[in-house]
Chain A
Amino acid sequence: MLAARIDQLPQEEKALLQTAAVIGHEVPLALLQAVAELPEAQIRLGLTHLQGTEFLYEMRLFPEIEYTFKHALTQKVAYETVLQERRRMLHARIVAALEALAGERVAEQVDRLAHHALRGEVWAKAATYGQQAGARAYDRAAFRGAVASFEQALQALAHLPDDDDTRGLAIDLRHALGNPLTALGEERRFLALLGEAEALARALDDRARLGRVLARKANHLRLVGDHVGAMAAGREALDLATALSNRTLQREASFSLGREYSAIGDFGRAAELLRRSVEAADGESGTPRTDMRIQSRAWLTRTLSALGSFTEGLRHGQEALRLAMLDGPGRSPIFAHGCLGLLYLARGDLEPAIRALEQGLAFCRASGTRDWFTAVVACLGSAYALQGRLTEGRALLEEGITENLRIDRRQNHALWVTWLSEVCRLAGRGEEAWQHARQALDVAREQKACGDEALALYQLGVVQAHAAPAPIPHRPKPTTSRP
């Protein structure tokens, strides 16, 4: 029906409508004029008729005249009536027109440019603009959009000559995909991309890029609980950074290895590496280094809280939060709140812990980020439980643990199951408390995470002690059985 109506339009009006459809649902007049290759008077006359026949209507006059399709379906049908080769040519022409019209403000148009460059098969520009659009989407916490843009850039890259520059960009794009994929909890997918990037970097003998990939790989192996692999990748990254005297890589490798030491319970070495990472990040300036200043501090805060160095930890945590709220992109406000909340929780300052964690949870829900969501809800659950809000605390801990398993994460699993054990004990469910503590111990031992193992053993002791309320002289025969 719609296609028939379009077919009945005079030839020039039909062509104008088709050009508008290729531009998109919103059609700036200046762009249409630049692409349509018709005299201005003819375009205005055509637009008047297209409004009269209810295909288009004028949406705004300021700051520039813009038309829009009456219905999304009209635009879709009109687009489909354009022959494939003409469609491609129009998209390519739109790229050139957008660049010319945007001038120095081309950065504001990268989403549109990436879209049209890909469909116009302007492959080099599609790769460049796709990469920029992905970074922009990530910065405003639009993680799905960021993944789509980076993937389109990779798709474009496959059409470029297979030289060193293309391969280098292929590594960088896989690397860049990590931020939004991590935020969405798609760990395994990113690990597969890192495997491809590592192979490309080794084949190119690009040691700087290899170092960055390995530092990233160490981090993501840690998240899935492969501490042996994480340690090996982290050490190789740090060795490469030292050999190359590459300060940025040294910072990245220290950060990655520091987190790994923290995960296995070697908090002293972790703090040393993370302090180095903070110092190095402070020595650099601007985004994404600001993000690194926040992340390094947040992780140092977390590590120092395990060591009981709360004063130093609080200083770093508060600075991380200040930076995150100032201009931290993407997930920064989430993990800054999360790590500060964890420090307060470890010290037993429940009110500020709950405030920080509830704020972090609000950011998680607003942005749809899944990776820090699990940590934030688990910490908040533990804080609620210590405050006596056992039902809420248990629900949140169970949500965190379930979600962690769903997104294929193993890091922190033992810690959170230990906390769940304590909630059960406080609720008088001794058998469940015992079972959870045993499970936490098994996981910690399997992952060779000494810190988590120590905590699980402590919890088993607490559960057992509370299950045997038998003071002398009425003490029954000693038992080693479960409560």
Chain B
Amino acid sequence: MRPLQAHCHRGLGTLYAKTGRPEQAHTELVAAIDLYCAMDMTFWLPQAEAALAQIGEE
């Protein structure tokens, strides 16, 4: 269930970022982005990338 796995990584990453755990958020969001890219799931990719970029800015 790789698409759901990717969504879970994105969800966790976003939540970690929101709760002040940037390193874990980074790990999860990178995992999500890798999976989205591997499966060519471009709809959710920008959301994961935006969340990752936001961690970098903070």
Contact = CB atoms under 8 A, between A and B. Distances in A.
A308 B2 contact: yes
A461 interface: yes
Contacts of A265: 1
A310 B40 contact: yes
Interface string B4-31: 1111100110110011100000000000
A142 interface: no
B18 A306 contact: no
A105 B51 CA distance: 69
Report which residue of B12, B18, B44 has the largest number of chain A beta carbons within 10 angstroms of its beta carbon.
B18
Contacts of A347: 3, 39-41, 43
B32 to A, nearest CB: 12
Contacts of A307: 1-2
Given A454-B1, A475-B19, A308 B39 contact: yes
A208 to B, nearest CB: 36
A348 B4 contact: no
A470 B14 CA distance: 12
Nearest to A386: B43
B41 A454 contact: no
Given A458-B7, A458-B11, A461-B11, A306 B1 contact: yes
Contact of A310 (B4, B39, B43): B39
A21 interface: no
Contacts, number: 60
A455 B41 contact: no
A469 B18 contact: yes
A350 interface: yes
A462 B12 CA distance: 9
A368 interface: no
B43 A465 contact: no
A465 B14 contact: yes
Nearest to A465: B15
A348 B5 CA distance: 15
B43 A472 contact: no
Nearest to A349: B43
B3 A346 contact: yes
Given A461-B11, A471-B18, A350 B1 contact: no
A90 B2 CA distance: 67
B20 A472 contact: yes
B2 A348 contact: no
A378 B56 CA distance: 38
A458 B20 contact: no
A392 B27 CA distance: 37
A347 B35 CA distance: 11
Contacts of A335: none
A455 B8 CA distance: 9
A40 B18 CA distance: 94
A150 interface: no
A200 to B, nearest CB: 41
B43 A348 contact: yes
Contacts of B40: 310, 347
A107 to B, nearest CB: 47
Interface in A417-446: none
Nearest to B10: A462
A46 interface: no
Interface string B37-58: 0111111100000000000000
Nearest to A461: B11
A363 interface: no
B43 A454 contact: no
A35 B19 CA distance: 88
Contacts of A471: 18-20
Nearest to B42: A348
Nearest to B6: A308
A267 B43 CA distance: 23
Contacts of B8: 458, 461
Contact of B1 (A267, A462, A465, A475): A267
6 contacts: A265-B1, A349-B42, A386-B43, A458-B4, A461-B8, A462-B11
Interface of A: 265, 267, 305-308, 310, 346-350, 386, 451, 454-455, 458, 461-462, 465, 468-472, 475
The 10 closest A-B pairs by CB, nearest first: A348-B43, A308-B2, A472-B20, A308-B39, A465-B15, A308-B3, A348-B41, A347-B41, A462-B11, A346-B3
Given A306-B1, A346-B3, A348-B42, 7 more contacts: A308-B1, A308-B5, A310-B39, A455-B4, A458-B7, A470-B18, A472-B20
